[in-house]
Structure 1
Amino acid sequence: MTDPSVADDPDLSTLVGLLDDEHVRTILAATSAEPLSAAALSERCGVSTSAVYRRVDRLVDADLLDERTRPRSDGHHDTVYVAAIERFELVVDDGDIDWTVDRTETDVADELTRLWGEF
Structure 2
Amino acid sequence: MIIESTTSVHSPDSPSAVMQTRPELLFKVPKSVVRGVPPFLEDEHPITLAPGLECPVWHDGTVWRVGIPGWGASYAAHVVHWPALESLSTDTRYTLVAPRSSSEDITLVST
- TM-score, structure 2 as length reference: 0.28
More helix, by proportion: 1
TM-score normalised to the size of structure 1? 0.27
Between Structure 1 and Structure 2, the one with more strand by share is: 2
